A and B are shown apart, each in its own frame.
Chain A
Amino acid sequence: MIQVLLFAHLREQVGCENLTIHKKQMTVKEFKELMEKQYKLSTQEVMIAINEEYATDSDVIAEGDTVALIPPVSGG
């Protein structure tokens, strides 16, 4: 199981703050494609964090990981 966290407008768009994906392993790129297909989310400007670390498209997400969709930030 992969835990997915959503924030800001993505959380509002999906209507909840976390999701689970029943997959053993997938790349960040595959994960983004799944989010786009299943939840109609635009991931173009969205960064992905795996277990609280920013990841790139080729990084691998494994069972037990927590994956966050991080839209452009606006703190400060």
Chain B
Amino acid sequence: MFDIVSCPIDTGKVIKQVEHRNAGAIVTFIGTVREMTQDKKTLYLEYEAYEPMARGMLTNIGKEIEKKWPDTVTAIAHRIGHLEVGDIAVVIAVSSPHRSDAYEANRYAIERIKTLVPIWKKEHWEDGDMWIGNQEGTISYTDHQ
């Protein structure tokens, strides 16, 4: 349900994990590799993770969601390694009896991933490369909710 993988993510498989008879909605977020960031052209990305901790934190995010939005089911897969423009980096699927919970919970999951989960991306541009950090501004990493 919560995984870090080094192969392409099968979106359908992630969605399948949250399907059940009492689900009235499934919201899926697919994060993909963007080519242009302002005037910088990305050639490819490299993702790296502290895998056991990242898996544990994804599982924790799932637990937080269960508490905040009872009756939701969440599955998350994040890819690491070499990714080309257009490749899928992350898939988050949330099912719930009614759509509003699934939308909210899904948004919550991606925001938590971007602030807490130990995964880093290295951008490779035409004129160099750089590890990207702190995309969301400085926050307390120990702020477990």
B121 and A75 form a contact (CB under 8 A):
yes
Given contacts A71-B120, A73-B119, A76-B119, 17 further A-B contacts (CB under 8 A): A5-B50, A8-B48, A8-B120, A12-B131, A45-B133, A45-B134, A54-B141, A56-B142, A74-B131, A74-B132, A74-B133, A75-B114, A75-B117, A75-B118, A75-B120, A76-B78, A76-B113
Nearest first, the 9 closest Cβ-Cβ pairs linking A and B are A75-B119, A72-B133, A72-B134, A8-B120, A52-B53, A74-B132, A9-B131, A47-B141, A76-B114
The answer to the question of B90 belonging to the interface, with a C-beta cut-off of 8 Å to chain A, is: yes
B141 and A75 form a contact (CB under 8 A):
no
The answer to the question of A49 belonging to the interface, with a C-beta cut-off of 8 Å to chain B, is: yes
Question: Do A76 and B110 contact each other (CB < 8 Å), given the known contacts A7-B48, A7-B50, A52-B52?
Answer: yes
Chain A residue numbers with a CB within 8 Å of B131 are 8-9, 12, 71, 74
A73 and B56 form a contact (CB under 8 A):
no
B118 and A49 form a contact (CB under 8 A):
yes
A75 to B53: give the CA distance in the assembly, Å.
13
A6 to B55: give the CA distance in the assembly, Å.
17
A75 to B91: give the CA distance in the assembly, Å.
12
Q: Please count how many residues in chain A sit with their CB below 8 Å of the partner chain's CB atoms.
A: 20
The answer to the question of A61 belonging to the interface, with a C-beta cut-off of 8 Å to chain B, is: no
Scoring B residues 85 to 113 as 1 if CB is less than 8 Å from chain A, else 0, what string do you get? 00001100000000000000000001001
Scoring A residues 27 to 57 as 1 if CB is less than 8 Å from chain B, else 0, what string do you get? 0000000000000000001010100101110
Residues of B within 8 A of A (CB): 31, 47-50, 52-54, 56, 78, 89-90, 110, 113-122, 131-135, 138, 141-142
A74 to B114: give the CA distance in the assembly, Å.
6
A8 to B114: give the CA distance in the assembly, Å.
16
Kindly name the residue among A55, A56, A76 whose own CB sees the greatest number of chain B CB atoms within 10 A: A76
Distance (Å) between the CB of A63 and the closest chain B CB?
20
A7 and B118 form a contact (CB under 8 A):
yes
Chain A residue numbers with a CB within 8 Å of B119 are 73-76
Chain B residue numbers with a CB within 8 Å of A74 are 114, 119-121, 131-135
